[in-house]
Every structure is written in structure tokens, then in C-alpha cells.
Amino acid sequence: MKLDILKSLNAERAARRAAIVVTDVASGAQRLVRAEEAAGDPLAELLAHHLRTGKSGMVETPQGRVFLTVHVPPPKLVVTGAVHISQALAPMAKMAGYDVTIVDPRTAFASPERFPDVPLIAEWPDVALPPLGIDRYTAFVALTHDPKIDDPALLHALARDCFYVGALGSKKTHARRVERLKAQGLDDATIARIHAPIGLPIGAVSPPEIAVSILAEITARLRLPAKSEAAKAAS
């Protein structure tokens, strides 16, 4: 790899921005495609697919065979609410490769005893969230049922284009949430990005089952965005 490509790639990785190195198999020529440039590239459809899945691989193009080396930031999961569901969700998400952080100003809930080996921030969202670098490779989950905690956190997550935003609560609870968020200036399209009721509709009852449904929905949104949205709309 040429030094200029390597330097550019390292800069993208340091900034948590995805990129793909395209290598022409026949000639060995390489070029770097930043995620923000992919839509205008001649291989736009292929690049979009590989950016979504995060998988490298050989592909056939009209110009010949190329190898796509995909560099995607490791996904984050930020949760507001150190609750029973979080206790099940955090270790499962870590096993799935997520960098997990839990935020809850209620120190009785956000304790190392309840969440061993998971970063905890016992602060209000306006203090805790900005330093976390929440971005489009972050999944955000609101689980407290407390508007004073969840609402400002949802506003923060939506403003930073998280690939997944979900909130716990029934349809009635979410309807009240929608009205509050509208009062904060959010439009219908932005609010519609919130997955609520949260999780895939698998009939989950217990906290661990609900955690499974949440992680499954996050994974579907990360790996199969279009299908995930269609399934959600049909449910």
C-alpha cells in the first residue's frame, strides 16, 4: 500500500469514518474510497453493500476483478438506564463486538456490582453523552422510562445520526414521548427513526428475552437496513 493511501486511511480510522481500499487484481493498483464519497463512485452499489456489512471480499466489475478491503469503525452501544434489561443486554452486546457504555445518573442502579466489566457513567445525559463521541456507528438505547433522562439522550442520539435509536415503552408511552419531542422541535421524519416499542416482535417477556429482541433488532439495522425497516413497518 502506498504511503499516501495509508496515511489517508489512518486518518479516516482515527476519526471513526469508514473507508474502502479498492485493489485492481490484475494491475495491483489501489485507491481509497471514503464512505462519504462512495455514492458518487463508479462502484457505488458494491461499495454501499460492503460498507453496510463490513465485510471485505473479491468482486467482479465491468472493469475486471477488484478486492475490496473494508475498514469500518467498531460499533458502539450506548444505553441510558442501568436496569435489568441492561444487565442482560450489556454482556450479550459485548460478545457481539459492541463497545458498550451505560449512562444513568441514579447511582443506586449504576453500580459496578450490577455491571461488572462495563463502563458506567453516573451522570445526566447532557454531561455524560458529549464526550462519548456518539456517531453513525453507534446504536443508542433508552431504557429508563424517565423522560428527564431518556428524552435529552434521544435528542442527542438523533442529532448525531446513530444507525439505530430505540426506546423502551408501550405504544401509549411512545405517543406521549412523541409529543414531548415535537415540543422540543423535532419533525415527524426524525422522530420516526426511533424504534418504539423497542426490539423485534418475538413475544419477549423477561428482561433477558427483551435484551435478545433489542440486540437482534440492532443487528438487523446494522447488517440489513432495508429489510429491517420493512419488517418493522409490517409488524
3 Cβ contact partners less than 8 Å away, ≥ 6 residues apart: none
- Domain boundary, last residue among 13, 47, 71: 71
| Same domain for 81 and 66 | no
The answer on 83 and 67 residing in a single domain is: no
The alpha carbon of residue 168 and the mean position of all alpha carbons in its chain are separated, in whole angstroms, by 16
Cα–Cα distance for residue pair 46/60, rounded to 1 Å: 10
Last residue of a domain, one of 50, 71, 92: 71
Tens-digit pLDDT profile for residues 19-53:
999 999 999 999 999 999 999 999 999 998 888 77
> What does the pLDDT average to over 87-107?
96
pLDDT, residue 226, reads 53
How many domains is the chain partitioned into structurally?
2
Q: Which of 71, 86, 115 is the last residue of a domain?
A: 71
Instruction: Report the phi/psi class of residue 153: left, alpha or beta, with left for phi > 0 and alpha for psi in -120 to 50.
Output: alpha
Residues 145, 39 share a domain:
no
| Residue 123 shares a structural domain with residue 155 | yes
Quote helix, strand, coil % in the chain, to nearest 5.
45, 20, 35
Which residue range forms the structural domain that includes residue 42? 3-71
Within this chain, do residues 116 and 230 fall inside the same structural domain, yes or no?
yes
Mean of per-residue pLDDT scores for the chain: 92
Q: Are residues 175 and 88 in the same domain?
A: yes
User: How much of the chain, in percent, has pLDDT values that exceed 90?
Assistant: 80
| Domain co-membership, 218 together with 142 | yes
Indicate if 99 and 151 belong to the same structural domain: yes
Query: pTM (2 decimals)?
Result: 0.81
Q: Answer for the pair 177, 167: CB distance below 8 angstroms, yes or no.
A: yes
- Give the pLDDT confidence of 128-144 residue by residue, as tens digits: 999 999 988 999 999 99
Look at residue 233 in the predicted model and tell me its pLDDT: 41
